[in-house]
Amino acid sequence: MFEALLPWATLFLLANLAAGLWRIWKGPSDADRLLTALLFGTTSVAMLLLLSAWQQAMGMRTVALILVLLATIVSIAFFGMPAHHDD
């Protein structure tokens, strides 16, 4: 029963991810876009964990671990970004 639900849960999270893309597109500020990318990251990690249980591939958890470990790099590189035209 639980296993049968895993693909559907993955699909549901993927739908969430796709809906979040609208916010990256719309903005309005850089901070909004980056924030959504980070949300994207958390959802991807959840999806990878579900995928690993669904496909019985525990190696995917290492991929998820790497994603959470390196999730902050982009926001640290972003911090203090000077003002620019399309913001």
Q: Which of residues 7-66 bind another protein (CB under 8 A)?
A: 7-25, 27, 29-53, 55, 57-66
# chain residues binding another protein, by CB under 8 A = 80
Question: How many CA within 13 A on the CB side of residue 37?
Answer: 15
Q: Who's near 14: CB < 8 A, 6+ residues apart? A: 47
CB of 56 to another protein, least distance (A): 10
CB of 68 to another protein, least distance (A): 4
CB of 49 to another protein, least distance (A): 6
Binding pattern for the stretch 65-84 against another protein, x by CB under 8 A and - elsewhere:
xxxxxxxxxxxxxxxxxxxx
| 3-state DSSP percent of the chain in helix, strand and coil, to 5 | 80, 0, 20
End-to-end Cα spacing for the chain: 48
